[in-house]
Structure 1
């Protein structure tokens, strides 16, 4: 199995696990504070991953350039903006719609990467991207829309527009991260990805931490009072991001994000076996479509 595929599958698992744990923090702190803990507690975990990798595989860190730092800053900001837009979409009681349309990120990333990075691939891979995104949309909207007219109506809802904006921001984030890993020198793409993770988490802590200090100073003590659960969220976030970044360093962004749609399968499995919720027929159909799309992506690679 190619390293980028394994890394992407692990990224989906870690992200689902982190999201489940982060639910516990929502009742204890604000949205911004809950986001900061991902980066704040992710920095030492990222450093530990870099140290462990160097210990096992050897090598050395690359000297960063100003262009590299700019790409890192853009990637970190893109993730922050995308997360905030997604949360804003939930405010319109459109959790499913906002989430569904944010998953168009894979298609948006494919187009942006083709234009700016020259990343092209075969027709089969393009079909796979479309199928996997379609399966995700089906999973999110099944039972909520019954016709193409309903789909069109859902698309112009504020929650959908914010979701599309979130997908665009996440796509730009992924492309900036790939550009950053290609900007620094070094023969080991995985090490470059891990180094980039630490730099971006530091910048994100500075950016969103400064905003938190300026607007919600009273929330800062909670970052440290909840250190036990916050540290777990930060660790899982860092591990998930390390896997995403590794995927971006080894393969085109659109392919990584398309395979990353399997995240929704982990969500369904978590719901079925840990929360003991029954799976609907639409869940099974949608899951099979997502898997089929991922297979097409891999065959078209």
Structure 2
């Protein structure tokens, strides 16, 4: 089994854990603060991870050049924008449909990967990517009525969701471009360098934003440092996995396999929270599993 596959699955697991912890943080701070915690509290753990990788590596540490910084900054800003759009969806009607459209990211990542990096996807791989998106949409609209689904197809929420998915796709391609632009070094080392650089840029940008626009949120972030550390640890673990996997493999394949996160979410909902699972959600989960098997077989 290629190394990028278990790394991606682990990244999806930690991302699901981070989302659950971040949801609790919303009780203590607003969206800006909860978003910052993902980056700012993740940076120290990313630095520790970089030190460990450097110690285990046999080669020199690759130094970022101008193109690496530009790609990392572009990806980091796109990721911040995508996160804000996704959070904004929850205040709109039919947000489930909009969220589903944000999960078109793998298809959009395949397009951006081809346009920016020249990455190609095999016919079977493209079919698996598309099937995974269908599965995600079924899960996302599983609790919505048919009228809500039809109304949501052309809704403002759907358009914002597509925009969120596009920005997530762009950010993933930019992160891969940054890692490839480093040129030398093992995949884990290049990914760790780009991860630290990206989190540093994101943390600085968001700190400046809160310092200028909302200083009270800085106090809420400081008061929530204990749960923030857990969010940072799980978020940095997820990002380390994503960055490493995307250094090793085409972004579209990585993000498509990453849809397994929805399986973890459904399992938590059923086994932990004892929530009811609809037939559409089960069907969506089944399609995602089949898509993942096709994706693994196609690579």
Deviation, structure 1 residue 94: 3.1
1:28-61: CA deviations, max 9, x gaps? 1111111111111111100111111222344332
Q: Distance in 2 between matches of 1:56 and 1:67?
A: 26
- C-alpha contact 2:179 2:191 (8 A) present in aligned 1: yes
RMSD: 1.4
Query: How far, CA to CA, are the matches of 2:60 and 2:242 in structure 1?
Result: 21
Question: Tell me, what secondary structure is at the counterpart of 2:146?
Answer: coil
Q: Which runs of 4+ in 1 moved over 4 A?
A: none
Q: Please, which moves more after superposition, 40-49 or 150-159? A: 150-159
User: Paired residue for 1:280?
Assistant: 278
Indicate the SS of the match to 1:231: helix
Cα displacement (A) at 1:143: 4.4
Give the equivalent residue in structure 1 for 2:238. Answer: 240
Q: Which residue of 1 aligns with 2:220?
A: 222
Once residues 115 and 52 of structure 2 are traced to their aligned partners in structure 1, the CA distance between those partners, rounded to angstroms, is 37
3-state SS of 1:186 partner: coil
Q: Quick one: distance in 1 between partners of 2:177 and 2:170?
A: 10
Q: C-alpha deviations, 1:166-211, integer Å up to 9, x for none?
A: 0000000000000000001323011100111110000000111111
User: What does 1:82-97 correspond to in 2, within 5 Å?
Assistant: 82-97=82-97
Q: Is the 8 A contact 1:90 1:98 kept in 2?
A: no
1:136 aligns with 2:172: no
Mapped to 2, the partners of 1:165 and 1:285 lie a distance apart of 26
The aligned counterpart of 2:116 is 116
Q: Which deviates further from its counterpart, 122-131 or 218-227?
A: 218-227
Q: Which runs of 5+ in 2 are unaligned?
A: none
Match of 2:37 in 1: 37
Aligned residues: 299
Q: How far, CA to CA, are the matches of 2:145 and 2:118 in structure 1?
A: 36
Match for residue 70 of structure 2? 70
What TM-score comes out, normalization by structure 1 length? 0.95
**What are the superposed Cα offsets for residues 241-297 of structure 1, whole Å, 9 maximum, x if unpaired?**
110101110000000010001000000111112112233332221111001111111
Answer yes or no: is the 8 Å Cα contact 2:36–2:203 preserved in 1. Answer: yes
Q: What is the TM-score with the length of structure 2 in the denominator? A: 0.96
Deviation sequence 1:53-93 (CA, Å, 0-9, x none)? 22234433211111110000001001000011111222113
Compare 254-263 and 210-219 and name the one that shifted more: 210-219
Structure 2 Cα separation of the partners of residues 190 and 224 of structure 1:
32
Aligned to 1:79: 79
Residues 252-291 of structure 1: pairs in structure 2 closer than 5 A:
252-291=250-289
1:104/1:145 CA distance change after superposition, 3 Å = farther
Q: Is residue 94–residue 152 contact of structure 2 (8 Å, CA) maintained in 1?
A: no
State the distance in 2 between where 1:253 and 1:31 align: 28
